[in-house]
Amino acid sequence: MGIKSDKIWLDGEFVDFEDANVHILTHTLHYGLGAFEGIRCYQREDGKSAIFRLSEHIRRLIESCKICTIDVPFTQEQIERACIETVKVNGFEDCYLRPLVFLGHGEMGLSATSNKVRVAVIAWKWGAYLGDEGLEKGIRAKVSSFNRHHVNSSMVKGKINGQYVNSILAKREVMAAGYDEAIMLDTDGYISEASGENIFIVYRNRLFTTPIGSSILGGITRDTIVTLAKERGISIIEQRFTRDMLYTADEIFMVGTAAEITPVRELDERTIGDGTVGPVTKALQAAYFDQVKGSSTDHPEWLAIVE
C-alpha cells in the first residue's frame, strides 16, 4: 500500500494526493527550518479508531515551531481536528499521521521572514517501523560514530526537520554495517537516544531512562512508558548512563511512536541478557499495546476517538 492516501490536508483544505505539491523554492526544502510530528492511530478492540496522545503531539509541534520562531497559522484545536478528519476522509482504521509545518517559497536566503507558513497533515498505512520480528524477538543495534546534537547546537526538544540529518547519518551508517538501529551518544559520551527512539535499560534490576533535561527529544512514548511503569509499581531512574552499562544490561528496549516498544537483543556484537525479550520489556510492551489498541480504559485522556 505504501504511503498513498486519497487526500492530504494542506493549508486548511483537503487536496488529492497527486495535487499536494510544493514549489522547488520551498524554503524548508533548502534550509530545514520547519517542524513535524509522527502520530499513530490504532483500531482498538472495541472497533473504534483512536489517535494516541494527539494533543500532546500537536502541542509538541507548536512548541517545535515556537523554538524555530515560526508562527503557526492554525490553532492547536484546528490541527487536531485536521488530523481526525484526515483519518476519516481516507477511510483508515489505523494509520500513521504526519503533521508538517514548513516555510513556503517566496524569499530566499537565511534572513527570509515573509514566506508563508504552510501546514499539512498526511496519513499513510505504516506497519512495525523496525519490523514485526524486531518487535517480537528484538533487534540488533550499534552505537553510531555520530553524536546526538549538542544541546546548544540544535534545539533538541524540537522535532525540527533539518535536525534529522544527524539521525539519518547515524541510521545509514549502522544499516550499511548490517544492523537494524543506531544508538547515539551525547557529546559527553553518555547514551542519548536511538535515531528515532528513546532508550530504556534494565540494569541490576532497576529501570533507567535518559533524563528529559538532556540531549534527547522528549518522546511521548517515553512519557507513556514512564507512566505505565510507575502505575505497575516499577520505579524509574531518570539519569544519564554509559555505553558499558548497556553492554551489561539485563534488558534494553527502544520506544517511539513509529517503533512502539522494540526490544534490543544485541548491541555492538554483545548479546543483551540471554538474547531473548526480558520480563520488564515484555510487561511494558503488553501494557503499551493494551493501552493503544487493546481494551485498557486506564487513560481515556490519551485517546482521541475518530468520529
Q: Contact residues for ligand PMP (CB under 6 A)?
A: 38, 159, 167, 193, 196-198, 217, 219-222, 256-257
Parallel/antiparallel/unpaired status of strands 139-143 and 181-185: parallel
CB of 75 to ligand PMP, least distance (A): 21
The answer to whether residue 4 is catalytic is no
CB of 10 to ligand PMP, least distance (A): 22
Report residue 182 as a C-alpha cell.
Answer: 543506531
Q: Tell me which amino acid residue 3 is.
A: I
Q: Of the residues 7, 142, 159, 171, which is catalytic? A: 159
| Cell 524555530 sits on residue | 68
What is the rounded CA–CA span in Å between residue 82 and residue 17? 16
CB of 38 to ligand PMP, least distance (A): 5
> Which residue, 52 or 74, has its beta carbon nearer to ligand PMP?
52
Looking at residue 301, the DSSP 8-state letter turns out to be G
CB of 39 to ligand PMP, least distance (A): 8
> Which residue, 220 or 272, has its beta carbon nearer to ligand PMP?
220
> Which residue, 52 or 92, has its beta carbon nearer to ligand PMP?
52
> Which residue, 57 or 105, has its beta carbon nearer to ligand PMP?
57
Looking at residue 232, the DSSP 8-state letter turns out to be T
- Provide the CA 247 distance to its chain's centre, in angstroms: 24
Helices (H) and strands (E) in the chain, counts: 8, 17
> Which residue, 267 or 273, has its beta carbon nearer to ligand PMP?
267
Looking at residue 149, the DSSP 8-state letter turns out to be P
CB of 24 to ligand PMP, least distance (A): 27
Contact 188, 194 (CB under 8 A): no
Contact 9, 70 (CB under 8 A): no
What is the rounded CA–CA span in Å between residue 252 and residue 134? 13
Parallel/antiparallel/unpaired status of strands 198-203 and 251-256: antiparallel
The residues assigned a catalytic role are 159
